[in-house]
Chain A
Amino acid sequence: MDDRETILDALPEARGGGVPTLSVDVKAVPKSDLWERFVARLKELGGELRSLEDLAEFAGKAMCDVDVPQSVVARLREPATDVWEAKAGVTMAEFAVAETGSIVLSATPGRSRLLSLAPPVHVALVDPGRTIAGLEEAISKMGPETGVIVTGPSRTADVEGVMVMGVHGPRRLCVVPFAP
Chain B
Amino acid sequence: MSVAEKRSRACEKFLAKVHNITGKEGVTPSALHAIKRKLVGLAKKTALFPRADFEMPAAQGRNHPLLVEDGDGLGLYLTINMPGKEAAPHDHGIWCVNAAISGRERHDFFRRTDEGETPGRATVAKVGEVLVEPGHGMAMGDHDIHGTVVVGREPAIGLALYGYALARFPSVVWYHPEFSSVRATPSRRRALAG
Are A and B bound to each other? no
